[in-house]
Amino acid sequence: MDWYAPIDDVLLHERDRVVTRRRLDPAEPYFRDHFPGRPVLPGVLAIESLVRAGRVLLGAHAEGADCWVLASARAVRFSSFLSPGQWLVCDVKLVKQDDASATIAATAFACDQEACDLAGVEGLPPAVSGRLVLRPARPSPPWNHPVEHASPIA
């Protein structure tokens, strides 16, 4: 997804918590079609931003955290729209982790301030919240296995 950069910068990076932010640029192509006349960030891109923040968090805990993928999203709630010009601030906290998965409590906020920082997020209602489970990516087998023939057809 080269066309969608889910993180501009990291505001806070602690052992069990990461806060990232991204300015939602009105010129982004997904705002043209989603929705005409009332552009909003597609929910799947908000979730992707939370997953990417989770990968930043896991980078402190697990080698190769950028290879972790979303396994499940539980109790996800979209409480408000994320509109062009706002800051999307993602706050993720590690709940538990083992070799097979990591559970994070994820919350995204919509900040309207020009220079949104940690203090500007305090007290804002969440726009998106839920529990995300990430797991290490499993390489898939090649899709083009060579076909073996028993004998040539004569």
Segment (H or E) for 51: helix 43-58
Selected catalytic residue, list 13, 34, 61, 145: 34
Neighbours of 17 (CB within 10 A): 14
Q: Is 34 a catalytic residue?
A: yes
Angle at 101 between CA 95 and CA 105, to 5 degrees: 30
Task: Provide the Cα torsion 113, 18, 123, 105; round to 10°.
Answer: 130
What is the separation, in whole angstroms, between the first and last Cα of the chain?
48
* Residue that has been written with the tokens 């500007």 in this structure: 120
Q: Which residues are catalytic?
A: 34
